[in-house]
A and B are shown apart, each in its own frame.
Chain A
Amino acid sequence: MTPAEFAAELQRVSAGTDSAISKVVEKGALNIKNDARASLSSSNAGKSAAGQFINYDMSGTLEAEIGYDKMAGSLGTMNEYGSAGNAPKKNLANALEREAPVTAKYAAEAVDDLWR
């Protein structure tokens, strides 16, 4: 491969990187949302109702925001962080911790695939 060909290859790969990783990030966000909802539904009925308010939004290409909609009111923060009389459940934080290494692995594979 000549330097010019290598430069062209680099350009081609870097142009496709955002799009490839964006799909992985969105899939990761979906997995976290589903995992957090599932772990909430194994909690008591009142609290599990808040699960339907867990959603995600893509903020730009490479960033996703996952959390409770405003409709959940204080139930969301109470589930996640607890309150004066309730222990924290950390459904979202635990789901993120489970998913993070999986998403990182698939992001690396997606970039690898661009070189082929």
Chain B
Amino acid sequence: MAISARLVAVEVVEYLDGITNVAAYLSEGPTPPVGKTVIVHPDAGQHDGPLGNPDRDLRVEFQTTSVGTTAEQALWVHDQVATRLWRSTITLDGSTNTLPIFAIPGTEQPVRRDDNLADPLFYVTCSWMAHARPST
């Protein structure tokens, strides 16, 4: 089974959904956005390995956006996400690829306020890299 940024993100969402009191979503959160959520955005178009070639290593990037109703809550959600993802390994359904995950240095952004919403929310973003290695 070929690996893709979307498939990795789907698996990461499932993995993060296991965090108590935090809901995880793929690409788009609930409308209107609510607090204590994490949204996983897959980065399409990877550069160091052809998608669909199961014999090559592949670096897959994705971004997490941790959302809270206060700055403190957004940071708390991000802490939960980082703790869960840091150096963790997931296995994609139907494939033999395992994915050690680590944060890309320097991509963790400070907590920001989303002023476009009627009820402002706060969010923290961070980019992560999953390194897929074929095991066969």
A85-B115 in contact given A77-B109, A90-B43, A97-B47 (Cβ < 8 Å): no
| Alpha-carbon distance between A90 and B61 when the two chains are bound, in angstroms | 12
Chain A binding surface, main DSSP class: loop
**A85 close to B125 (CB less than 8 A):** no
Cβ-based interface call for A81 (8 A): yes
| Alpha-carbon distance between A82 and B45 when the two chains are bound, in angstroms | 18
Cβ-based interface call for B83 (8 A): no
Q: Which residues of chain B are within 8 angstroms of A84 by Cβ–Cβ distance?
A: 29, 33, 65, 67, 114, 117, 121-123
Q: Which residues of chain A are within 8 angstroms of B47 by Cβ–Cβ distance?
A: 97
Cβ-based interface call for B32 (8 A): yes
| Alpha-carbon distance between A88 and B43 when the two chains are bound, in angstroms | 9
**B41 close to A83 (CB less than 8 A):** no
Q: Tell me which of A74, A85, A88, A97 contacts B41 (CB under 8 A).
A: A88
**A83 close to B31 (CB less than 8 A):** no
User: Closest CB of chain B to A75's CB: distance in Å?
Assistant: 10
User: Closest CB of chain B to A63's CB: distance in Å?
Assistant: 15
- Interfacial residues of chain A within 32-68, with CB under 8 A of chain B in the complex: none
User: Closest CB of chain A to B106's CB: distance in Å?
Assistant: 11
Residues on B lying within 8 angstroms of A by beta carbon are 27-29, 31-33, 41, 43, 45, 47, 63, 65, 67, 109, 112, 114-117, 121-123, 125
Residues on A lying within 8 angstroms of B by beta carbon are 74, 77-78, 81-88, 90, 94, 97
